[in-house]
Each structure stands twice: as structure tokens, then as C-alpha cells.
Amino acid sequence: MSDVIVDTREIERRTIRRSDWVACNAAFIDCRTPGSDRKENYAFIGAGVSQNPNQVVNLTENHGFNTGAAGMPNGISNNLHLHFTAEVFINLGGEFRLRWGVDGKEGEYVSHDGDVISIPTWIFRGFTNEGPDEGILYTVLGRDVTGGIIWGPSVLKEAESYGLHLTADNQLIDTVAGDELPTDVALITPMKQRYIDELTSYSVEELRSRVVQPGDRVYSSSALLCTAVDGGAADLALVIGYGMSENRRQVPSIHEPHSFNLAWVRAAAGQGVLRHRHQQTQALLVKSGRWDVTLNGDPSTTVTIGAGDSFSVPQGSWRSYVCVDGGEAGAGEILVINGGDDRVTLEWAPEVVSAAADADWTIDPNGYLAPLGVMLTATEDD
């Protein structure tokens, strides 16, 4: 694999700080509906499902997934809608009541700080902020092209009364603001009842199985080769997919393909994931603490990111991420999102491989951690 060198300008472009978030207050058709009129939509990687062409997108290139966020004051709701690709919420602080079903009465779940919630595709869902005004739901959406969303029939009817319409090519038409209804593109009409009747129902228990609360996380302190090396004591908890884990017995909480995998990494100050690279797209989101992300194995190309900041790591580039301040909890948390549904095969830097070998650890032919002393006795194939 040839080296991918990332310069400081590219590092800056791929760094999305909390201060770089730009809200769109008219991203969706329900932006005038009372109780939904103060929503803020953010698009970080990809445009997501925003229906407003003026939505600011921090990073436009394809990753195989989209990231964004929903912010709203206490009491404000995101109305019932349906997604075709995966929608995963990461609660970055606050209390949100999620509801599902075409009328929102099929079930409810109240989400708290640190939850990861994978909402099934092809069901109507909505949510209300019942916590502080600054509550944020970070979102990861499956695939580059999500196909947009389908709004619940009642949402479309109410939006029409406020002069808002949605075209078949996902454009928001605002007749109050002077937009004219198109003559060459059809307007979206409510989903027919016979199709609604065919949608899958989910019980509260079934939806809860797709929620990974902080207490549900199962961390491994031996998930990566670098954990055998000084400075590499990072714990990893799989959430969606097998991702980067090199522990052959570690399994994720959610197995269903999403077009991305997701895991928590935590580490005390001075510890983290040492230098490695892989070919998948990757986005890092800091939940707590401060982290140094170093590219190229060169300290001069290090960016420090804190809570709410994210960073898109170029495919094939050498990278490490080390906690420099664990905060009050003593250990920082970072969310690692990799593109694709397959396991992620890591290539460790030579100094990590050598130091791990000194500690009697290596990677077996199946990509998992193994004692070097055992592997040296294995019989090679002819």
C-alpha cells in the first residue's frame, strides 16, 4: 500500500469543530408547523435528508454514510417520517422521547445521554426534546444517497395549510415566500393506506434491542494489537458491526448491515489507538475529553479535537488518536465510524508490530490477536 500523505490544509478541511456547525431552520416541510417550527438541522458529512438546497454541508465528499445532527429547544418535535436507509441517533446530551408507527402510537422510548439508537428502515418515527434546550441528537445515515424521506400523511396535510409543499425530486416549495408550484414535477402526496398497512410493526421490546445504552456497552481491553504496547491501552466496545476489533470473541450489539460500522473507544490520558491505517472511510466523533489525532506519523500534522468535534480520516492514511485529557471521568470517549459492513482490516505501523511482538502478541491469518509464541510453532502451508 502506497503512503497517503495528508497536509495541514487537508487536515483543517476535514476537521469539523462544534463551532463550525451551521444550523438550517427550514430544512424540512414541517418547519412552520407549531411545535416543530424551531428545529435546527445540521449536515456534517453529506447533505443527509435535508430538503433545503441552502443547507450548509461541512464536508461533501462521499463516505458511504452521512453524518449530521438535530437540535431543538425543549418541547419541540421532529414529526413522523420514514427512512429507506439506516438512521442511527447518538444522544450527545439531553432527553428525547422517540415514538414510532404511522400515528406515533406504536411505541415510545425515552433516550438519555450516551444512547445509540438504530431505528429500523421503513417505519415512521419522530422525536420530541423533553430535556434542556441544548440537547443534541447526532445522526448517522446509511449510504451516500439516502433516497430522502417519506412524511407521515398528517404531516404533509398540515404543512400544506402553511403553504409548504414537497416535490417528487425532494425540493421544498414555499408559496408563502413566493415560490410557485411547479408544472413539470409532481408534488408528493400522502402514502396510500394499503402501503401503510404493509409496514412492519415493532414492539417496545424489539425497538429496545436496537438501543445501546452506556450500561449496555461491553468493552474489551484486548480488542486491538496496540493494547499490548505502551501508550496503546484503549478499550473498544462494538455497537454496530464487527468493525476494527481484533478480538475473535468480541461481538457487536447490533449485527444488521447499515453500510457503516460503529464502536466506542475510551482511554485515559496518554493512552489511545496507536499508528495504523486501513482502506475504509472513517469519521471520529469526540463524546468526552480531548484527543490528539496525528496523521502521517508526524507530530507536526496533529489536530486536537474536543467534545462535539469530529474528524474525517482520509482512506489509507496513517493515523493515531490518543486521549490527552480524560476530563472528570478520567477517560475520554470517542465514537469511531467506518464505512462498509465488512470487518475492517488494520495495518499496524512497524513500531507497533515490533513492540507487540516483544510482548508476545501478533495477528493471526484470520486477522485476530494471537500469542506470538503459538504462531511461531504453526505449520505453514506448502
- Cα–Cα separations (whole angstroms), residue 11 to 54, 259, 265: 25, 25, 21
- Same domain for 179 and 251, yes or no, is no
Phi, psi of 87, deg, nearest 5: -130, 120
Residue 45 lies in a domain: yes
Spatial separation of the C-alpha atoms in residues 103 and 179, rounded to whole Å: 30
CATH number of 353's domain:
2.60.120.10
Residue 113's Cβ-side half-sphere holds a number of Cα atoms within 13 Å equal to 9
- Same domain for 223 and 315, yes or no, is yes
288 Cβ contact list (under 8 Å, min separation 6):
307, 326, 327, 329, 332, 333
From 180, 212, 244, the end of a domain falls on 212
- Same domain for 60 and 191, yes or no, is yes
Q: How confident is the model at residue 177 (pLDDT cuts 50, 70, 90)?
A: confident
Q: How confident is the model at residue 2 (pLDDT cuts 50, 70, 90)?
A: confident
Residue 1 lies in a domain: no
- Same domain for 194 and 224, yes or no, is no
From 165, 183, 212, the end of a domain falls on 212
Q: How confident is the model at residue 183 (pLDDT cuts 50, 70, 90)?
A: confident
Helices (H) and strands (E) in the chain, counts: 6, 28
Q: Which of 64-73, 139-148, 164-173, 215-224 is predicted with the least confidence, judged by mean pLDDT?
A: 164-173
From 175, 192, 212, the end of a domain falls on 212
Q: Which of 2-16, 38-52, 53-67, 80-94 is predicted with the least confidence, judged by mean pLDDT?
A: 38-52
Residue 310 lies in a domain: yes
pLDDT at 354: 98
pLDDT of residue 37 exceeding 80: no
Residue 157 lies in a domain: yes
- Same domain for 182 and 103, yes or no, is yes
Domain containing residue 61: 8-212
> How many distinct structural domains can be found in the chain?
2
pLDDT of residue 382 exceeding 70: no
Residue 231 lies in a domain: yes
Length of the chain: 382
Q: Which residue has the higher pLDDT, 310 or 380?
A: 310
- Same domain for 81 and 171, yes or no, is yes
- Same domain for 183 and 251, yes or no, is no
- Same domain for 279 and 336, yes or no, is yes
Residue 242 lies in a domain: yes
- Same domain for 229 and 366, yes or no, is yes
- Summarised one tens digit per residue, pLDDT across range 255-278 is 999 999 999 999 999 999 999 999
Residue 380 lies in a domain: no
Q: Are 35 and 9 in contact (CB under 8 A)?
A: no
- Same domain for 169 and 286, yes or no, is no
